[in-house]
Amino acid sequence: MLMQSLLFIAGLVALVVGADSLVRGASKLALSFGISPLVVGLTIVAFGTSAPEMAVSTGAVLSGQTAIAVGNVVGSNIFNVLFILGLSALVAPLVVHSQLIRQEVPIMIGSALLLVALGLDGTLSRWDGALLLTLVVVYTVFLIVQSRRASSAGASQFDSELKPASAHAWDAKWPAQTALILAGLVLLVLGSDWLVSASVVFAKALGVSDLVIGLTIVAAGTSMPELATSITAAFKGERDIAVGNVVGSCTFNLLGCLGLASLASGASGLPLGPSVMSFDIWVMLAALLACLPVFLSGREIARWEGGVFLAYYVAYVAYLILASQQHETLTGFSSVMLGFVVPLTIITLVVSLIRDKPSIPQA
């Protein structure tokens, strides 16, 4: 078990370092060719933070561990919204940019609804995967075209984070930048293989399913880039980036990660599993839908709302653990959550929304 724990940690480190190397190399290479920081931030950085999920989900499918592949994406999105946004809001109330409310959140929710529709038969076919991948390409092109029309003020959003390498820096030339990209890809492949292998052993040793491991441990591990980015942005006061990072990552996870995993699954398609379709995917959809009233109430995520998000993530993980062990307290726990906690939260959000009387931002 010690060796598997070390392999799991090594896999996480390889994923984080690989994603950072990929983003660094690709960003500097793009900037060297005169591509604006905003375009790089909206495309390469967004793909980079979702690269661990994509690598793990595709690697899991190729290894025959389809439950981990699905659980990783669904669990990562739940972790992104409830845990990362919740923790970031506790650090500092998060400002929500009008574009997120008007455009990015509806696209994220639309992607989740599309996944639910495609998965009603219990499987994501290769054609479904091709559709999801086509949509992520269309979305990326749309972001690039939109960013080119942005004002100079908007174009400077990523200037402090993304700058071309100085002429004397070791990564100023394209060979070094290409090497960073290749090194990042290699680390992502190795890291995903190590992480999946160790996770399967953990699942068997703990007596829980691959799906539960994918929804919790693997999902949290592959979301480390998003967690680090959002927490750092919140501490620096760049609170709109903290929110945008999570929303963009969720969209890329749904379209890109599951799209590629579905294509890799072959003619049989990617099975979603009855427990995913009956429970976990609805928890994910509820978490994404909760963003709208929370974002609209004053157009920020207050500390108390972050605390609610965080508490719900703890409750969700507790439910998964109790359900996997068929614990005797599961029925009582579910009754309290569904009969008291959830309705109380909904009432509180509605009252907060009415009290703040937000105006829908205009284009």
Output the DSSP codes for 123-139.
EE-HHHHHHHHHHHHHH
Q: Alpha helices, DSSP H only, in 279-358?
A: 281-296, 303-325, 330-336, 342-356
Sorted by sequence, the CB contacts under 8 Å of residue 106 that are 6+ apart come out as none
Q: Please, are residues 288 and 112 in contact by the beta-carbon 8 Å criterion?
A: yes
pLDDT exceeds cutoff 80 at 123: yes
Inside any domain, residue 34: yes
The answer to whether residue 65 sits within a structural domain is yes
Residue 282 inside a domain? The answer is: yes
pLDDT band with cut points at 50, 70 and 90 for residue 271: very high
Is 361 within the bounds of a domain? no
Mean pLDDT of 278-282: 87
241 — pLDDT class (breaks 50, 70, 90): low
pLDDT for the residue 177: 80
140/115: higher pLDDT: 115
CATH value at residue 352 = 1.20.1420.30
Confidence of residue 363 (pLDDT cuts 50, 70, 90): very low
Task: Write down the pLDDT at residue 257.
Answer: 92
Measure the CA–CA gap between 73 and 71, rounded to whole angstroms. 6
Q: How far apart are CA 261 and CA 58, in angstroms?
A: 5
Number of H helices, E strands in the chain: 20, 4
pLDDT given for residue 14 in this prediction: 85
Query: Mean pLDDT across the stretch 164-190?
Result: 75
Domain count, the chain: 1
Type of residue numbered 35: I
158 pLDDT exceeds 80? no
Alpha helices, DSSP H, located in 158-277: 174-206, 210-213, 219-222, 224-236, 239-252, 258-264, 274-275
Q: Is residue 45 one of the residues assigned to a domain? A: yes
Exposed, middle or buried, 58 (CB in 10 Å: 0-12/13-18/19+)?
buried
In a 13 Å sphere around the CA of 266, the CA atoms on its Cβ side amount to 6
Q: Is 86 part of any domain? A: yes
Q: Report CA torsion sign: 193, 199, 204, 210.
A: negative
pTM of structure: 0.79
Q: Does residue 89 fall inside a structural domain?
A: yes
User: How is residue 342 written in tokens?
Assistant: 């959830």
Q: Which domain holds residue 11?
A: 2-356
CB atoms within 10 A of CB 1: 9
Q: Which amino acid is at 166?
A: S
The predicted pLDDT at position 163 comes to: 57
pLDDT, tens digit, for every residue of 27-51?
777 677 666 655 665 566 667 777 8
Q: Find all residues with CB under 8 Å of 253, minimum gap 6, and list them.
A: 50, 53, 73, 76, 77, 80
Mean of pLDDT over the chain: 79
Average pLDDT over residues 298-321: 84
Is 363 among the domain residues? no
